[in-house]
Amino acid sequence: MSRSHLGLVFCLSFVTLEAFQAVYLGAVFQEVDSFAVGGLVFGISVVGCTLATAVMRPQELAAAMRAWKVLLVLNLFAALAWSAYFLAVQLIEPAVVFTIFSGMVPLGTVIGSWLGLPEAGGSKRRLAHFGNTLILAAILYLGAITIFGLSGFVRGGETVAIAGVGLSALSGACTAFVILYSVRLNRKGVGPLAQFGLRFIAYTFLALAAFLAGLDDKGVQTDPSKLAVTVLIGFAVIAFPLYLVQKAVPLIPAPTIAAVTALGPAMVFFMQLFDGRIDYSTSTLAGLVIYMIGALLTVYGAIATATLRSTRHGRLSQARARYRDGTATRRTRTPDGCRDRNHPHRRP
């Protein structure tokens, strides 16, 4: 399996587990403090991955310290992304949250390209641009039906709906910049294990402070055994998927990762049908159809661009290797104008 194919497998696995996560956490966070769960999951991950990196790849920790500015920005975006996501998923329909979140990842990459981030380097194909336009239209449509009460679930009134939509969009946009700065940190010699341990330090402290302040207190005492089970499942549906996408970072371009992650909302919609608190919404399904068409076009454009770049790079590498080995035939022009010195019609 090629590096690009392996990267796509990691991304698709991430999307599947993230879809289950959106529905599961949407139900669990109705009763459990999201900051307590997030703080425990990511806090344990920070300690475990950082210690493992210190033992197996200490040079990567040194590289991370040298790139401390990139690491700081990465931490800030990761903290914003997950704080917003965990709050949004309990306020409005999970399929809407995940669609807006997923759609804002490729759109956030476009914003990164506008801001001049070299890692963004999006597809130049018109098909991808048209796909991003459809994704934006779907996000606006889903936001509108949620605010006007036409979606499958809102935990409160119009204000709660607006907050849920806004938090979903913020989470997705921040996630796009997490991917971009992860690529930059990887190029500075910091691998997936080290990054996974170091990029959630700020979120861990933020979640701890929010939990102690009671910002997401549900007003009921959480059973410690239930919290322990939730955290254990959280490692499988929160931490592990993120590690998979982190593994994909050095294998495929950031725009391709962003585009593939946009494919998950359809899975969420069908999974949430098994969740008793969510009503079936035709309006949500219509928004997902618009979104999926745009996402497929964007994915096709991103993958085609990445494949073209990989092919050009491979041909250039082969040409350089042939010249180094002396096996390349240099085509030069002879005095009579013939390019091939061995041509039978060349004048003596």
Determine the pLDDT at residue 31.
Answer: 83
Q: Nearest CA to 9 among 181, 277, 252?
A: 252
Q: Nearest CA to 140 among 287, 337, 315?
A: 287
Q: Does residue 254 form part of some domain?
A: yes
Q: For residue 172, is pLDDT > 60?
A: yes
Q: Does residue 90 form part of some domain?
A: yes
Q: Does residue 328 form part of some domain?
A: no
Q: Does residue 348 form part of some domain?
A: no
Task: Determine the Cα–Cα distance for residues 4 and 2; give it in Å rounded to an integer.
Answer: 5
Domain count, the chain: 1
Of 89-98, 174-183, 288-297, highest mean pLDDT: 174-183
Q: Does residue 329 form part of some domain?
A: no
Q: Does residue 308 form part of some domain?
A: yes
Interhelix angle 224-234/34-56, rounded to 10 degrees, is 50
Q: Does residue 167 form part of some domain?
A: yes
Name the average pLDDT for the chain. Answer: 83
Determine the pLDDT at residue 302.
Answer: 66
CB of 256 within 8 A of CB of 122?
no
Taking only the tens place, the pLDDT of each residue in 103-147 is 998 899 999 989 988 888 755 677 888 888 999 999 999 999 999
pLDDT band with cut points at 50, 70 and 90 for residue 306? low
Q: Does residue 50 form part of some domain?
A: yes
For the entire predicted model, the pTM comes to: 0.76
Q: For residue 326, is pLDDT > 80?
A: no
Q: Nearest CA to 83 among 202, 257, 181?
A: 202
Taking only the tens place, the pLDDT of each residue in 177-209 is 999 999 999 999 999 889 988 999 999 999 999
pLDDT band with cut points at 50, 70 and 90 for residue 348? very low
Task: Determine the Cα–Cα distance for residues 129 and 302; give it in Å rounded to an integer.
Answer: 10
Q: For residue 266, is pLDDT > 50?
A: yes
3-state helix, strand, coil in the chain (%, to 5): 75, 0, 25
Q: Check residues 94 and 306 and name the one with the higher pLDDT.
A: 94
CB of 79 within 8 A of CB of 38?
no
Number of other residues whose CB lies within 10 A of the CB of residue 317: 10
Task: Determine the Cα–Cα distance for residues 244 and 41; give it in Å rounded to an integer.
Answer: 16
The domain in which residue 205 lies consists of: 3-216+224-322
Q: For residue 310, is pLDDT > 60?
A: no
Minimum mean pLDDT range among 3-17, 58-72, 189-203: 3-17
Give the E-state strand segments of 110-155 in sequence order: none
Task: Determine the Cα–Cα distance for residues 152 and 150; give it in Å rounded to an integer.
Answer: 7
Q: For residue 328, is pLDDT > 60?
A: no
